Structure 1
């Protein structure tokens, strides 16, 4: 009898999907109040983290991402 543990991930080889862009732009939100721009900044970071947790690799470095988004939102 074979017992399958549902908490054990499958042992298969996967190649990561690399996301190369185009990147969403946040420049159109630059005129929003500062509080809303900070909320968008947090959302952008959370979305990137969610993609990375799902196994996606982002070609834009994290430092470049932070610089771009914070510059576009002027935060």
Structure 2
């Protein structure tokens, strides 16, 4: 999983959560791994997102968009 250096966290004008506005880590490099390994990466991606949300971050990518993107990138 690669993490770009230009991820942006922006606090809205009102006192709300930080909004993380990507770009997102890409899982495309792992699509040739064995299926079991790709499912483990999928699980880890979901756990990472949950951890960010639990820490108070709001992601600009909806959960459905996130799931669609990660499953496509991992070819699962």
Same fold flag (TM > 0.5): yes
- Tell me how far 1:22 sits from its aligned partner: 0.7
Give the match for residue 47 of structure 1: 48
Instruction: Could you tell me which runs of 5 or more consecutive residues in structure 1 were left unpaired when the two chains were aligned.
Output: 1-13
Q: How do 1:19-34 and structure 2 match up within 5 A?
A: 19-34=20-35
Partners in 1 of 2:46 and 2:33 — Cα distance?
Answer: 18
Instruction: Could you tell me which runs of 5 or more consecutive residues in structure 2 were left unpaired when the two chains were aligned.
Output: 1-14
Secondary structure in structure 2 of the residue aligned to 1:23: coil
Q: How do 1:1-75 and structure 2 match up within 5 A?
A: 14-75=15-76
TM-score (norm 1): 0.81
- Tell me how far 1:38 sits from its aligned partner: 0.2
Secondary structure in structure 2 of the residue aligned to 1:70: helix
Higher RCO (CA < 8 A, seq sep 6+): 1
Secondary structure in structure 1 of the residue aligned to 2:24: coil
Moved over 6 A (4+): none
Instruction: Say what the alpha-carbon RMSD is for the aligned residues.
Output: 1.3
